[in-house]
Amino acid sequence: MGSQAMLNPLDPEEFRRQAHIVVDFLADYYLNIENYPVCSQVEPGFLTKTMPLSAPLQPQPIETILQDVQKHIIPGLTHWQSPGFFAYFQSNASTGNFLGEMLLTGFNSVGFNWLASPAATELEMVVMEWLLKLLQLPKSFSFSSNGGGVIHGSTCESFVCTLIAAREKKLSQRKADLGKLVVYCSDQTHFSLQKACRVVGISHNNVRSIQTKKSMNFQLSSDALLTAIESDVRAGLIPLYVCLTLGTTSTTAVDPLLALSEIAKRFLMWVHVDAAYAGSACICPEFRHFLDGVEGANSFSFNPHKWFLTTLDCCCLWVKDQSDLTKALSNDPELLKNKASDTKNVVDYKDWQIALSRRFRAMKLWMVIRSYGVTGLQEVIRKHVKLAKHFEALLIADKRFEVVVPRNFATVCFKLLAPNASNEDSKRLTQTLLDSLNASGLVYMTHAVIEGVYVIRVAIGATLTEEKHVHMLWDMVQEHATHLLASCADIE
């Protein structure tokens, strides 16, 4: 069997046999996922010490390979799909997504232009129009206007592409030194924007990270933005781009899109709305008010690979004027010339991104939307928000804890309080509480520091998380806090 696999790497019947084995393996993994420590307990170098120094000369059966996956790989996984995973952000998966991944991997289309894979291009256009209507984004972002949508791999990729588009548009409008272009964001904006700015040639000295305040729920202040812009204009600099966030990483804060985009418009700036985390929630009518003012943006993105039952990688980006992207990113080598592209009546997605090659990501997103429908996807969002609201209420009712910022979606930020404790003491207590909870292996959470305050972030949203898991977390938080505060009292 092994030699046959070597001679024919894509034998349909052997593929069928091995795929069934792998699917069974994964199904068993999910059945037993709660038996594994949520956060991996291995030490650095664990795998390099156990793996062979050289690749095998002869083919090995799938059964042997999966034995090594079970023995060596799984212990080194942090289990993002565990119901006890409350860290970073949710990356929830689904059966519909897995099947979509199987199809897109099986077809292995490389749809850089329309001719290379017409179905890949047009399904992406269809799905992006579905999502646009589902989110009730302005028609100006639609292909039926001058806009349109594209699926990128990450928010950082969308930052890079929109920054390049903004840069090229600005430099075509006026002669200017690249070193005079300035980008604006809040101190809550995802750190990948800073990296994207470096990639496109904008110095960190020309990125204004504007401080936010707890008193404003860590929103970007329109007054602070205006002050920063006016100061730069007086210094002879050129405002280029402002990133507004819908659901910041640390606290899930929401910037006031309308007021901020109106300020940016006065200075002819590109406005990008990063809704990576919370964009998914806006498929529910009760959250769409957070999108008020989005019509003032030049681009908008969100990540279905966070809270939309779709796995990595999948970032949806819309632009108001697709020519902003294509003028900045297109090329036309002889190798890729064809009659369809020459008509200008098709979309060639190679001109909407940095790379040439691209995966058929629309297939998995299409499968997810069709498998669960709008009502099913809304139910998932609402379930997680309800669980987060319940956990927040439990914290508020216990005077030993403080919910540091109001919850907007399904992430709760809290700290442990102690009588007469300084801010530094409170930080140490909260950090010790987090460490002890994570050491249990039953749950995994991460932290943030906001306005100097150390908080534990509880991001609820794993597909398998149920009310019983949130109650388990709450019981653990109470128990560990009781022991920790008692030990502090004994020391005093």
Please give the pLDDT value at position 290: 97
Q: Classify domain 109-360 at the CATH class level.
A: alpha beta
Which positions ≥6 away from 132 have C-beta within 8 Å? 141, 142, 149, 318
Q: Give me the DSSP letters along 416-457.
A: E--TT--HHHHHHHHHHHHHHHHHTSS-B-EEEEETTEEEEE
Q: Give me the DSSP letters along 38-74.
A: SS--PPTTHHHHHS-SS--SS---HHHHHHHIIIIIG
Closest by alpha carbon to 358, among 103, 128, 153, 119?
153
Contact 369, 127 (CB under 8 A): yes
Which region, left, alpha or beta, applies to residue 51 given φ > 0 means left and ψ of -120 to 50 means alpha? beta
d(CA 492, CA 481): 17
Angle at 27 between CA 75 and CA 72, to 5 degrees: 20
The residues with which 209 forms a beta bridge, in sequence order, are 185
Pairing relationship of beta strands 299-302 and 270-274 according to DSSP bridges = parallel
Read off the tokens for 446: 């991460």
Q: pLDDT digit string (tens) for 388-426?
A: 999 999 999 999 999 999 999 999 999 999 877 777 888
Three-state SS for 147? coil
Q: What is the DSSP letter of 142?
A: S
The residues with which 245 forms a beta bridge, in sequence order, are 274
Contact 167, 240 (CB under 8 A): yes
Please give the pLDDT value at position 1: 47
- Whole-structure pTM value: 0.94
Read off the tokens for 247: 């659901």
Q: Domain coordinates of the chain in residue numbers?
A: 109-360, 370-491
Parts of the chain with a pLDDT under 70: 1-7, 489-492
H-helix or E-strand spanning residue 304: helix 304-307
The residues with which 183 forms a beta bridge, in sequence order, are 207, 241
| Alpha helices per DSSP H over 59-154 | 62-68, 95-107, 118-135
Q: Identify the burial level of 162 via C-beta atoms within 10 angstroms of its C-beta, where 0-12 means exposed, 13-18 middle and 19 or more buried.
A: buried
- The answer to whether 109-360 and 370-491 have equal CATH topology is no
Q: pLDDT digit string (tens) for 99-137?
A: 999 999 999 999 999 999 999 999 999 999 999 999 999
Closest by alpha carbon to 96, among 377, 462, 466?
377
d(CA 473, CA 444): 10
d(CA 220, CA 217): 9
d(CA 161, CA 197): 10
Topology adopted by domain 370-491: Aspartate Aminotransferase, domain 1 (3.90.1150)
H-helix or E-strand spanning residue 372: helix 361-397
The residues with which 193 forms a beta bridge, in sequence order, are none
Contact 250, 348 (CB under 8 A): no
Closest by alpha carbon to 296, among 317, 273, 276?
273
Please give the pLDDT value at position 459: 97
Q: Strands, E, within 84-195: which ranges?
A: 148-152, 181-186
Q: What is the DSSP letter of 353?
A: S
For residue 318, the Cα-to-chain-centroid distance in whole angstroms is: 16
The residues with which 238 forms a beta bridge, in sequence order, are 181
